[in-house]
Amino acid sequence: MGNARQIKLLVTLGDMAGIGPEVVLRALPLVQQTAQLTLVGNEQQLMACSKRLGLPLTDHPIIDVPLAADQTIRIGQGDAVSGDLSFRSLQTAIGYCLKNGYSGVITAPIAKSAWLAAGHHYPGQTELLAEMAEVTRFGMLFVARSPMTDWTMRTLLATTHIPLRQVPEVLTPEVLTLKLELLLKCLERDFGVENPKVAIAGLNPHSGEQGQIGREEIDWLIPWLNSQRQRFPHVTLEGPVPPDTLWVSPAKAWHHLEQQAHHGYLALYHDQGLIPVKMLAFDQAVNTTIGLPFIRTSPDHGTAFDIAGQGIARPDSMVAAIDLAIELAVQRQVNGHN
């Protein structure tokens, strides 16, 4: 792992009324012991979680984010108190990444409703990360490695948390150009892929059937793809691939070695990309924010308030998120990037 022991990463505890503290405590003994991990959250609540569930308390340092004397966290019930705590924890972690030499942050899940209850109006953690890092070019990349074949699935969303009816309006050649550039940079810098093969989904059923059930492909998506092939001659761009067949080769590669699988997939809207990711890799998928000046990974699950405090939360996705952050940090170090 080279100089991985010099790498410093932060792990936020997320909404502490949910399963965040539990999955972090369960994950830490299972991850690569090759980086300095510092936790960010309320230390007293973490100790209470450790005692309540009989989990060993980590010896990793923690940056304490305090609660007021009259504030309490109600396990299983996300509210303004837990929302504000998770918001301030993420703010703290971002500040340390920007100013204190940390390579990145692994974020435990938060509840958007709890953020709203606390007066923090953000669609999610990604948007706060981008705002504090002062970036406008960023994307949500979902990464999952098959435990059967070791093949890695990488799916970037062109659009994220918007109503489905708005997708055709928001999708433009400019948006797709931005996302493709982010994906190619990530594949080459963070995953060491020299000549990437990328598949781009169509928007309509059967990619429009030559304009019979939608004209977006004919009117601008195919011309856009042709222009990008000229811009990136070293990249193989396939598409627009009919969405119902796009995920056949990843499914084969996930279960059996398949040479036709691509290095990256560009899905045009949220569920088009995430349904196959979660069907194939629910416990292994990691949400990665690309385009930030530091690494950000997150397990691909929510706060699970319904099982919080019961000691049954699985740490698999958190383990994958921490391990991926370490691997990305090592790769950037090898390549001479911060």
Q: What is the distance between the alpha carbons of residues 279 and 286, in angstroms, rounded to a whole number?
A: 14
Q: What is the distance between the alpha carbons of residues 196 and 218, in angstroms, rounded to a whole number?
A: 25
Largest pairwise CA distance in the chain: 65
On whether the CB atoms of residues 156 and 193 are closer than 8 A, the answer is no
Strands of 104-107's sheet, edge to edge?
62-64, 36-41, 8-12, 104-107, 295-299, 286-290, 139-145, 152-157, 264-267, 197-201, 236-241
Partnered with residue 40 across adjacent β-strands are: 12, 63
Q: Has 301 been labeled as part of a binding site? A: no
Q: Has 206 been labeled as part of a binding site? A: yes
Q: What is the distance between the alpha carbons of residues 120 and 116, in angstroms, rounded to a whole number?
A: 5
Closest CA to 282 of 301, 262, 254: 301
Q: Has 161 been labeled as part of a binding site? A: yes
Q: Has 256 been labeled as part of a binding site? A: no
Q: What is the distance between the alpha carbons of residues 316 and 31, in angstroms, rounded to a whole number?
A: 10
Q: Has 185 been labeled as part of a binding site? A: no
Look-up: residue for tokens 């067949």? 245
Determine which helix (DSSP H) or strand (DSSP E) holds 38, and give its type and residue range: strand 36-41
SS3 assignment, position 190: helix
Q: Has 296 been labeled as part of a binding site? A: yes
- Annotated binding-site members: 126, 161, 206, 270, 278, 287, 296
- Annotated binding-site members for substrate: 126, 278, 287, 296
- Annotated binding-site members for a divalent metal cation: 161, 206, 270
